[in-house]
């Protein structure tokens, strides 16, 4: 299960698998580092309050939490078009800003998720092509990469909203259906049966798919010496 930031699920701070991560390391993700710093702040705040019995320590700790939350919102990982091309679920590339295929002024990942992909919603949490879209929305964009951490969280939120809309009698699905760790685990397990399909555009990009399969294959017609010598009957192909 992908590690999420504590503002999305506060229980991650006390999860037995991560509770001892109190110091950020280089092999951690951005969210894991902020979660580790938050745990360290909690420990220091408790120890500081016990030592001084001053409410100022609690105020300082709360202020630090706000700063960490602001860092998460304002300093999300920067991306380039090349990164999106590698992570995109499909075979076709996306438009580039310049000849090198890199963005001169990097923006946040969220910006490109909104502009270059079809956003997920409670009616279509995974962003797959719906039958009605073949006629009604033939130029729709690809679904965002579901394995990305932020997209993973958006899919979970959209799925819970879908459950809420299908069960209007439940006032708060987050508390009544997914209120504890066991129910959250069952929710994650139930998601295994659903996935974004390899192609989420209309129509299938057959040209890009063929280029993906055969685009870089050596050919004697293109002047590749190794490919040309293979046409020689004296050459042993085995």
Residue 152 half-sphere exposure, CB side, CA atoms within 13 Å?
A: 12
Read off the pLDDT of each residue in 90-114 and give the average, rounded to a whole number. Answer: 53
Question: For the residues of 78-145, what is the DSSP string, one character each?
Answer: B--HHHHHHH-SSS-----SSTTS--SS--BHHHHHHHSSPPPBTTBTT-PPPHHHHHH-TTPPPPP-
* Range scoring the smallest mean pLDDT among 44-48, 113-117, 233-237: 233-237
- What pLDDT sits at residue 125? 92
Predicted confidence band at 217 (pLDDT cuts at 50, 70, 90)? confident
Q: Is the pLDDT of residue 102 over 80?
A: no
What tens digit of pLDDT does each residue of 67-83 get?
988 888 776 554 344 44
- What pLDDT sits at residue 89? 45
Q: Which of 138, 140, 137 is nearest to 117 (CA)?
A: 140
Report which of residues 99 and 186 the model is more confident about: 186
Average pLDDT, the chain: 77
Question: What percentage of the chain exceeds 90 in pLDDT?
Answer: 2
**C-beta neighbour count of 118 within 10 angstroms:** 20
Question: What percentage of the chain exceeds 70 in pLDDT?
Answer: 80
Predicted confidence band at 108 (pLDDT cuts at 50, 70, 90)? low
Predicted confidence band at 231 (pLDDT cuts at 50, 70, 90)? low
C-alpha to C-alpha distance for 193 and 156, rounded to whole angstroms: 14
The C-alpha angle 213, 214, 215, rounded to 5 degrees, equals: 110
What tens digit of pLDDT does each residue of 111-164 get?
777 788 888 999 999 999 998 888 888 888 888 888 888 888 889 889 888 888
* pTM value surpassing 0.85: no
Read off the pLDDT of each residue in 81-105 and give the average, rounded to a whole number. Answer: 45
Report which of residues 30 and 88 the model is more confident about: 30
109, 148 Cβ separation under 8 angstroms: yes
Could you tell me the two tokens for 97? 């800003």
DSSP H helical ranges for 75-202: 81-87, 109-115, 131-136, 149-166, 173-176, 181-190
**C-beta neighbour count of 178 within 10 angstroms:** 20
Radius of gyration over every alpha carbon of the chain, rounded to an integer in angstroms: 24
**C-beta neighbour count of 145 within 10 angstroms:** 19
Q: Is the pLDDT of residue 63 over 50?
A: yes
Q: Which residue ranges make up each domain of the chain?
A: 10-74, 81-204
Read off the pLDDT of each residue in 164-180 and give the average, rounded to a whole number. Answer: 79
């Amino acid at each position: 299960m992908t590690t999420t930031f504590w503002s999305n699920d506060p229980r991650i701070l006390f999860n037995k698998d991560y509770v001892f991560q109190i110091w950020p390391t280089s092999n951690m993700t951005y969210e894991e580092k902020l979660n580790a710093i938050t745990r360290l702040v909690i420990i220091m705040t408790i120890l500081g309050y016990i030592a001084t019995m001053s409410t100022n320590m609690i105020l300082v700790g709360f202020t630090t939490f706000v700063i960490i939350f602001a860092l998460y919102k304002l300093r999300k990982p920067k991306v380039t078009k090349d990164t999106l091309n590698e992570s995109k679920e499909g075979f076709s590339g996306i438009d580039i800003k310049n000849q090198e295929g890199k963005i001169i002024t990097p923006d946040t990942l969220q910006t490109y998720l909104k502009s270059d992909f079809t956003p997920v919603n409670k009616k279509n949490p995974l962003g797959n092509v719906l039958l009605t879209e073949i006629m009604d929305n033939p130029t729709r964009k690809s679904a965002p990469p579901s394995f990305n951490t932020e997209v993973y969280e958006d899919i979970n939120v959209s799925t819970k909203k879908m459950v809420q809309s299908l069960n209007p009698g439940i006032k708060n699905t987050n508390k009544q259906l997914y209120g504890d760790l066991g129910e959250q685990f069952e929710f994650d397990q139930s998601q295994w049966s659903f996935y974004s399909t390899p192609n989420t555009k209309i129509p299938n990009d057959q040209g890009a798919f063929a280029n993906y399969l055969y685009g870089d294959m050596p050919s004697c017609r293109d002047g590749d010496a190794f490919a040309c010598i293979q046409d020689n009957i004296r050459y042993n192909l085995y």
